[in-house]
Amino acid sequence: MNQEISDILISTEEIQAINKRLGEEISKDYQDQDLLVVGILKGSFLFMADLIREINVPLEVDFMAVSSYGDGTESGGDVKILKDLEASVAGRHVLLVEDIVDTGYTLERLGELFKERQAASVKICAFLNKADRRQVKVEADYLGKEIPDAFVVGYGMDYAQKYRNLPYVGVLKSDQA
């Protein structure tokens, strides 16, 4: 285990099991649909890569990068698009793939945006959820795991851009964060 991690919250094995289950659920729901899977960078890149290999219906992938943070360390309603999609979404079934739903501001704003762009449907697949932290009403249609209110890193998720490469989800020792 990395020396700066105090606890492993989700092991590599559990991550695999979660992705398998989510892939089955999604495959069942999107048979014969024009599915566009949109990863929200950077945090979702490993989840996205594992998840789509467990989905066995035809799909396309695209990515967006957004920054939802205002002044502090918490999301505000203000969501800036740093990188937009290449694909057109009008008339397509969009599945947004997020690492973690926290306050909910990011996904609320993205949901509105995809509706404005006339997607046929917009659903959310989130690897993690912190329900206790929610500020706006947003719910994942597909959820990997509910976690308590702690700052987590690994499996794509960072603290100050580090730790994304850890093959598990962990909690930082308090003197690191």
CA distances from 42 to 31, 132, 133, 164, 173 (A): 28, 23, 21, 9, 23
Closest CA to 76 of 66, 65, 90: 66
With contacts defined by CB under 6 A, name the span among 16-24, 30-38, 98-106, 110-118 that binds ligand 5GP: 98-106
CB of 5 to Mg ion, least distance (A): 17
The reply on whether position 152 binds ligand 5GP by CB under 6 A is yes
Which pairs from 82-87 meet CB under 8 Å and 24+ separation? 83/41, 85/38, 86/62, 87/36, 87/60, 87/62
**Is 100 in contact with 129 (CB distance < 8 Å)?**
yes
State which residue, 37 or 101, has the beta carbon closest to ligand 5GP.
101
Joined together, the tokens standing for residue 49 give: 């890569």
State which residue, 72 or 91, has the beta carbon closest to ligand 5GP.
72
Binding mask 72-91 toward ligand 5GP (x if CB under 6 A, else -) reads ---x----------------
**Is 149 in contact with 133 (CB distance < 8 Å)?**
yes
Q: CA-CA distance, 108 to 106, in Å (whole number)?
A: 6
CB of 57 to ligand 5GP, least distance (A): 25
The reply on whether position 101 binds ligand 5GP by CB under 6 A is yes
Catalytic-labelled residue, pool 7, 71, 102, 149: 102
The reply on whether position 104 binds ligand 5GP by CB under 6 A is yes
**Residues with catalytic annotation?**
102
**Contacting positions for ligand 5GP (CB under 6 A):** 43, 68, 75, 98-106, 151-153, 157-159
